[in-house]
Amino acid sequence: MREHSDLAATIFEQLHQLSDEAWTFIKLRCLQDGKIDSALFDQHQSVCYELALCVAEIAAAKTLLKYANTLQGDHLGVELALLFCAESIQRILQKFSAFGSEMGIARKRALSFYDNAELIVLLETCSSASNSSALGAGICELNLTRLPSTLDEEKEMVRETFLRFANEVVKPRAEAIHREDKDIPEEIIQQAAELGCFGTCIPERFGGLQPDDHSDSLSMIVVTEELSRGSLGAAGSLITRPEIAARALLAGGSQAQQKKWLPPLAAGEMLCAISITEPNTGSDVAAVSLKATPTAGGWLLNGSKTWCTFAGRSELIVVLARTNPAQSLGHKGLSLFLVEKPAYAGHKFKHAQEQGGSLTGNAIATIGYRGMHSYDLFFEDYFVPAENLVGEEPGEGKGFYYTMAGFSGGRLQTAARATGVMQAAFEAALSYARDRQVFGKPIANYQLTQIKLARMLATITACRQLSYEVAALMDKGKGQMEASLVKLFACRSAEWITREAMQIHGGMGYAEESAASRYFVDARVLSIFEGAEEVLALKVVARELIERA
């Protein structure tokens, strides 16, 4: 096995080098006067998208191999890692072969990997049906829901605490919240607040759980994953919005603003929403047009927003608005505001201010991710005090940068949400496969089911370990692009794994009474929010890797 691991590591380094060459090739075709020309770049969208997916899978495989090397004596865990790597190598080589001419990589060069006799042995051994099904059989026999943790004792205690909370408080309520599109019940919110989950990204000096002297993104990931395992809509996203708001305030807020807003956010005494997207802008944040007009003592907001999750229940909405009407300024004309309002239950609200302004919200009907509700918002002369402009007067025009500071953490957290949903789907599939009898025996005894389960557990572990690695990077002030990379890979994986879980359930997987159907529709949103998959692949991952080339 060690020989296979070493060979796989070498192959992934070679694939990484190929991807670097491809980015250089594409960069040369996008340059105009020494700079990346957007129009030229857009002519290479398809190949950049596919190459970004390759880079994400290479990163996941390399991380999983490093993890496997820590599994002393765990034969099953190492073999699962090699299964994932063998299948990844073949998928990546297929893409280099199919898109080689557009990447500047000759097809025969991609195919020449198959001239390596040792690689052929690795592929045929590790990804064979007999090996994969044997691994799946081992998973079923042991009822193995996850591979060994790399967390230290403290983080493992945090994980177990929120695992119990998810099992005892969230899961019993999750189905009713989803099927009836209910609000998140107060008992979930209150108990989550008591456990400190709203303060995972807020420094201790403001009442949060984050150490004052260093960042600790790993705790946030561990908590998020377990909450999402309980329910994405009812718990997994509760701390995403305070995460984004806190990072924005820490990046640009004045000391007075940090002291005022961070403690109640950390304690869960004030819940918040994030309002960036507009009906005509989508992921193009720089095109935001909601107007913020100066008035006596503050600003008046006018215009529409959409997809503002949790806007009804929240008492604070972080809103990106245009304080300079010149659209030519793009993102430089944007500022970030802290908008206060009362909490409202249900699917619609209207808040009328004493000054005459109003804010109206209507929930958008969605196929999944229910409980938090995402709203269309309409601001009409809505007054915001001057001290609620993030950064106060010096912060005017810097809202885009503060927003991006928040989003990097949100994207990493979304990868953890995806891992939590995958974990829940896998556990449900494994349990059902062991219990369900078809043609006289449990479906867990059939080869195809076993192969599915083996692939699922290997992929979940790759996503988890990659998110841990990116968390460490972000805590060092790096990893902004990598946060998008892990979101890209984990969210795509969640769609596939929840589909496989539904397939294992058969007809019951399509029934609403089965949690598998909820996991499937919940997973679908992951590749859309906190940066749509295509936008992340092109505008974040591809652009940065081209710049580096």
In a domain, 208, yes or no: no
- In total, the chain counts a number of residues equal to 549
- Establish if 196 belongs to a structural domain: no
Q: Are 23 and 96 in contact (CB under 8 A)?
A: no
CB 36 within 8 A of CB 27: yes
- CB-count burial class (<10 Å; 0-12, 13-18, 19+) for 69: middle
Low-confidence ranges of the chain (pLDDT < 50): none
For the chain, the 3-state helix, strand and coil shares in percent, each to the nearest 5, are 65, 15, 25
Nearest to 503 by CA among 435, 441, 423, 426: 426
Query: Residue 282's pLDDT is what?
Result: 63
The answer to whether residue 62 is domain-embedded is: yes
- Rounded to whole angstroms, the Cα distance separating 285 from 429 reads 39
CATH of the domain at 71: 1.20.140
Query: Is position 235 within any domain?
Result: no
Residue 506: CB atoms within 10 A of its CB come to: 15
530 flagged as catalytic: yes
Q: What is the rounded CA–CA span in Å between residue 31 and residue 40?
A: 8
CA distance 392 to 385: 10
Beta bridge partners of 263: none
Cα–Cα separations (whole angstroms), residue 374 to 57, 77, 181, 183, 533 = 31, 40, 12, 11, 19
Two structure tokens written together for 194:
């008591």
Residue 322 belongs to domain with CATH number: 2.40.110.10
With respect to residue 454, please indicate whether it lies within any of the assigned structural domains.
Answer: no
pLDDT tens-place string over residues 34-84: 888 999 999 999 999 999 999 999 999 999 999 999 987 789 999 999 999
Report helix, strand or coil for 424: helix
> Which residue reads 């000391």 in tokens?
255
Tokens of 503: 């397939």
| pLDDT digit string, tens, across residues 144-171 | 999 999 999 999 999 999 999 999 999 9
For residues 391 and 252, is the Cβ–Cβ distance under 8 A?
yes
Establish if 462 belongs to a structural domain: no
Count of domains observed in the chain: 2
How large is the greatest C-alpha to C-alpha distance in the chain, in angstroms?
A: 77
Taking CA atoms, 239 is separated from 131, 226, 395, 408, 422, in Å, by 40, 12, 25, 14, 19
- The residue segments making up the domain with residue 302 are 272-400
236 within a domain of the structure (yes/no) = no
Question: Which of these is catalytic: 57, 225, 482, 530?
Answer: 530
- Among the candidates 400, 434, 458, a domain finishes at 400
- For residue 335, report the phi and psi dihedrals to the nearest 5 degrees: -135, 160
Question: Residue 423: what residue type?
Answer: Q
Q: Report CA torsion sign: 491, 408, 398, 379.
A: positive
Residues 350 and 343: their CA atoms lie apart, in Å, by: 11
The whole-number pLDDT of residue 287 equals: 76
Where among 379, 400, 421 does a domain terminate? 400
User: For residue 341, what are its two tokens?
Assistant: 């309002």
Asked if residue 40 is part of any domain, the answer here is: yes
Q: Which residues contact 526 (CB under 8 A, 6 or more apart)?
A: 414, 417, 418, 421, 490, 491, 494, 495
Distance of CA 236 to the CA centre of its chain: 11
* Cα 510 from Cα 134, distance rounded (Å): 28
DSSP string, 240-286: HHHHHHHHHHHHH--HHHHHHHHHHHHHTSS-EEEE---TTTTT-GG
Domain boundary among 400, 427, 445: 400
Percentage of residues of the chain with pLDDT beyond 90? 80
d(CA 149, CA 154): 12
